[in-house]
Amino acid sequence: MKISLFIPCLTEHLYPESALSMVKILNHLGHEVEYVENQTCCGQPAFNSGYRKEIIPIAERFIELFKDEEVIVAPSGSCVAMIRVFYRELAIRKELIPGLEALNQKIFEFTEFLVDVLKVTRLGGRYPHKVTYHDSCHLNRELGVREQPRELIRGIRDIDFVEMEKSDICCGFGGTFSYKQKGISIEMVKRKCKYIDESEADFCIGADSSCLMNIDGYLRKHRMKARTMHIAELLAKSLDFEC
Amino acid sequence: MHLSPLKTKKYVKAALKDERVRKAVDKATQTVINARKHVIDQIGYWEDLRLKNHAMKRDVIENLADYLQMFESNCRKNEIQVLWAADALEARQIILDLAKKNGVKKIVKSKSLTTEEIELNPALQENGIESLETDLGEYIVQLMDQIPSHLTMPAMHLSRQDIGRLFQEKLCVEYTDDPVALMGIARKILREHFLSSDMGLSGANFGVAGSGVLCILENEANAHLTLSLPRLHVVVMGIEKLVPDLKSVPFILKALASSATGQKSTCYVNFIGGPSREKYGEGPEEVIVILLDNGRSKIVKEPLLRETLFCIRCGACLNHCPVYQQIGGHAYGSVYMGPIGICLTPQYLGESEGRHSPSLCSICGACYDVCPVKIDMPRHILMLRNRIVEKGYSMKAERIGMKGWAFLTKHPMLYRLATWFPGQFQRLLPKGMAFPAPGYTRDRVMGRFDPKGFRKRYFKLRDI
């Protein structure tokens, strides 16, 4: 299968390792990977802040850019949700609607793609550490992806997987919310980090760079034990891939 | 206490510093979350129940004019008088006129958010009419000169120690923090007032259109006394609170009680089917319903937003909201707080006055998961944010930033150039130092920008 990558902005600029890990895993599974040039942002920050008119051309551009790809995979639940769920609410040009509908059938979040499309849960790796998993809100609630990442984690040999309390409570990022309501956002991530700490895990695994950046930022600042890791990186590390 | 949703920034700051309130809110929300879960796990058809209630409310709101007409004519058949109030001012005036006409000196009230919405208590006070809240939680917040901080648990933000101290100070009783003793003190005082009041004032949970009957749910029997002891009973009800017929009531009752408090049903379910039919019989001599519009009919006309009127005020979305859990109800600066509150405030008060409300949300969707009538609140909050932007009430700096970002996103070369800078700047910083992002980084560090970025690294990897 020829898999086209969609790399969201935070991953592109802050966490390229997670996307590179994703590429290596897809290659490892015998799939060809390609990168559509000139891709930019899906428009989510503007959409969530209420700027719909501004992102209509961004959505139209995205549809035109990706509509002919065979299948598209992204290492982020919220960006896939933006396209699959929220693009529909925009007043995009009529002739692009069939393209969007087709796109929605073939764009996938990474763990969803591995488990539901490729039917892979065991990659054969080994990672002898204690980990917990954070459910990102849009991945969990908009895309309904809960079990797929857990199956992939459980498929790793010698891993000690523990559930933290309230794994699905919001970490407090919420895009511009983290800046506009920083006081509340900090208290929310503080609570999340408390649950992570109580789970005694060494790593908090997630499937969305934005939540991981927020959680990691608090863990580091407060010198807490756990570190965050994108699930693609965890899988790559379990297979001893260099990233 | 008069709150304004325009001052949420100030309230949020204060709320985050108030450890006592935050502890009380955290404890109370966790308790009701667990109680709700326990009951709902036993209901095997919860999802079907949500769908059924959603469909029922959709039918009511989409055909509201017909249902209101049906309700009014059936009420009249039951000798319930129906009056219409276009806004808060009109509703207050109707009540003041009724009080004047009937020589009312004292009103006992059972819990009613609608009368909070029309700010009735201050108006009664100004006109020399004593009004007394009789729901224990409401009685407590009234003594504190506050408004409720929750839709179903008005004094959720207070601990029993807070209430003990309040009673000691305001009621001149000995300090106790035993809930049963506190309740006893309030009950003794309230009983006297029930017997000496001239008007009972309440809200209603549902108006049954097909029967002309009103339904009030409660756990303390104070509503029962309010609607049966005084000579006159006035109900203030939002026009959206209708259900089609009595057959719908058990379904919505089950959804409401389990979502609000984790009960299978409330302790009391009162049905008001009209005034006392015989002289000196039981119940009030007159029953009057005031149907309040106050912005609702405008929302009914909006196909994309009218779902927000399906709300049955159970408060489950507040309890499960990670934002509400941190700041409590008063920080919203509105009678309607939490996820549903920030949907309603900008619609009731207008986009200008309600422009900050929808920002009190991280769009996590926990509210939609638990709503017993399946109101898609995150969707509505996003839509209202859009409306606030469209009407020009967003901040100028944000507007410029977003427009600039949108422009760059359409021009990949410029986009790449603009996003190249942070990585280069990161290079200049001492090793290990995180990127400076003022505001965001007060209590957390920003992630590290990668000087190369994925794209460059990917092509390098591929070319090897």
| Closest residue to B322, CB basis, from A5, A52, A169 | A169
- Looking at 3.90.550, 1.10.540, 3.30.70, 3.40.50, the CATH number of the domain A130-238 comes to 3.40.50
Question: Residue B464 pLDDT > 70, yes or no?
Answer: no
- Tens digit of each residue's pLDDT (9 = 90 or more) over B242-300: 999 999 999 999 999 999 999 999 999 999 999 998 777 788 999 999 999 999 999 99
| Angstrom distance (rounded) from CA B294 to CA B241 | 13
- The per-residue DSSP string of A26-57 comes to HHHTT-EEEE-TT----SHHHHHTT-HHHHHH
CB contact under 8 A, A13 and B449: yes
Structure confidence at residue A70 (pLDDT): 96
Q: Are B226 and B109 in contact (CB under 8 A)?
A: yes
- Tens digit of each residue's pLDDT (9 = 90 or more) over B189-232: 999 999 999 999 999 999 999 999 999 999 999 999 999 999 99
| Final residue belonging to a domain, choices B372, B390, B408 | B390
Chain B hits for A186, Cβ within 8 Å: 442-444
Beta bridge partners, B346, equal: none
| Final residue belonging to a domain, choices B325, B355, B390 | B390
Structure confidence at residue B341 (pLDDT): 98
Chain A hits for B400, Cβ within 8 Å: none
Q: B292 CB contacts (<8 Å, ≥6 apart)?
A: B85, B88, B91, B114, B117, B118, B236, B237, B238, B239
Residues B374 and B413 both lie in one domain: no
- Tens digit of each residue's pLDDT (9 = 90 or more) over A105-155: 999 999 999 999 999 999 999 999 999 999 999 999 999 999 999 999 999
Residues B108 and B162 both lie in one domain: yes
Q: B397 CB contacts (<8 Å, ≥6 apart)?
A: none
- Tens digit of each residue's pLDDT (9 = 90 or more) over B65-124: 999 999 999 999 999 999 999 999 999 999 999 999 999 999 999 999 999 999 999 999
Structure confidence at residue A142 (pLDDT): 97
Q: How many folded domains does chain B comprise?
A: 3
CB contact under 8 A, B361 and A187: no
In a domain, B12, yes or no: no
In a domain, B7, yes or no: no
| Angstrom distance (rounded) from CA A79 to CA B56 | 34
In a domain, B9, yes or no: no
Residues B166 and B151 both lie in one domain: yes
- Tens digit of each residue's pLDDT (9 = 90 or more) over A26-82: 999 999 999 999 999 999 999 999 999 999 999 999 999 999 999 999 999 999 999
- Percentage of residues in chain A with pLDDT exceeding 70? 100
Q: What are the domain boundaries of chain A?
A: 2-117, 130-238
Q: Give the domain extent around B288.
A: 17-298
Residue A214 forms contact with B (CB below 8 Å): yes
Residue B439 pLDDT grade (very low, low, confident, very high; cuts 50, 70, 90): confident
- Closest residue, chain B, to A46 (C-alpha): B402
Residues B226 and B204 both lie in one domain: yes
* Mean pLDDT taken over chain B: 95
Residue B347 pLDDT grade (very low, low, confident, very high; cuts 50, 70, 90): very high
| Angstrom distance (rounded) from CA A199 to CA A213 | 19
| Closest residue to B447, CB basis, from A14, A55, A170 | A14
- The per-residue DSSP string of B243-277 comes to ESSGGGHHHHHHHHHHHHHS-SS-SEEEEE-SS-S
Question: CA torsion angle for B281, B282, B286, B292 (degrees, to 10)?
Answer: -160
Residue B357 pLDDT grade (very low, low, confident, very high; cuts 50, 70, 90): very high
A171-174's contacts with Cβ under 8 Å and 24+ in sequence apart are A171/A134, A171/A136, A171/A211, A171/A214, A171/A215, A172/A214, A172/B322, A172/B362, A173/A210, A173/A211, A173/A213, A173/A214, A173/B362, A174/A48, A174/B361, A174/B362, A174/B363, A174/B364
| Angstrom distance (rounded) from CA A104 to CA A86 | 11
Structure confidence at residue A243 (pLDDT): 65
Angstrom distances, CA of residue B295 to CA of A121, B4, B87, B443: 53, 17, 7, 41
In a domain, B404, yes or no: yes
Which CATH number is B26's domain given? 3.40.50.10420
Chain A hits for B402, Cβ within 8 Å: 45-46, 49, 51, 54
Residues B311 and B431 both lie in one domain: no
Record the pTM.
0.95
Structure confidence at residue B440 (pLDDT): 85
In a domain, B146, yes or no: yes
- Closest residue, chain B, to A181 (C-alpha): B360
| Final residue belonging to a domain, choices B390, B411, B436 | B390
